[in-house]
Amino acid sequence: MRTDRTFTMLKPDSVEKGYIGAILEKITGAGFKIVAMKLTQMTQSDAETFYAVHNERPFFGELVEYMTRGPIVAAVLEKENAVQDFRTLIGATNPADAAEGTIRKMYAASMGENAVHGSDSDENAEIESQFHFAGREIF
């Protein structure tokens, strides 16, 4: 299992607000190399599958509605210690708890609409990358 890759989504709120460029600048400025990227929109079934681990949680319905309401930017990022370093860069799930300078502190509106996704393990980074990209789309 490789440890130098993670998967991210710039969520619909980031795209709607015109934050794609600014967020990508933060990501590449922190030393992450983009090895796959596209603008895409998740279907209801995509979002239910991607977030299946949360399907018993009270926020699941809202989460699926949010994640399917418009396009996202999906990307695979490469850097040493990618998963952990990217979680540090994005900050806490709730932007109110996120550290100064983190992407969620700067660009997220709320716990529900929190601007970006970051994989939580090397295994999930691999699963999530393969969910969104064919092998020939990852460089």
**Shortest-Cβ-distance residue relative to Mg ion:** 120
**Shortest-Cβ-distance residue relative to ligand UDP:** 93
At a CB cut-off of 8 Å and minimum separation 6, what does 66 contact?
11, 12, 13, 112, 113
Pick the closer one to Mg ion by CB: 52 or 109.
52
How many residues bind to Mg ion according to rule CB under 5 A? 1
Residue 93 contact among ligand UDP, Mg ion, none, beta carbon within 5 to 8 Å by kind: ligand UDP
Concerning whether 117 is annotated as a catalytic residue, the answer is: yes
Interatomic CA distance for residues 118 and 10, integer angstroms: 9
Site for ligand UDP contains 103 (CB under 6 A): no
At a CB cut-off of 8 Å and minimum separation 6, what does 80 contact?
3, 4
**Of 5, 11, 26, 117, catalytic:** 117
Name which position in 93, 105, 131, 137 contacts ligand UDP (CB under 6 A).
Answer: 93
Per this entry, what is the length of the chain? 139
State both tokens at 28.
């590449």
Pick the closer one to ligand UDP by CB: 70 or 112.
112
Q: Tell me, what DSSP letter sits at residue 30?
A: T
Q: CA angle 131-134-136, nearest 5°?
A: 155
Contact range with ligand UDP by CB under 6 A, out of 20-28, 30-38, 75-83, 112-120: 112-120
Active-site residues: which are they? 117
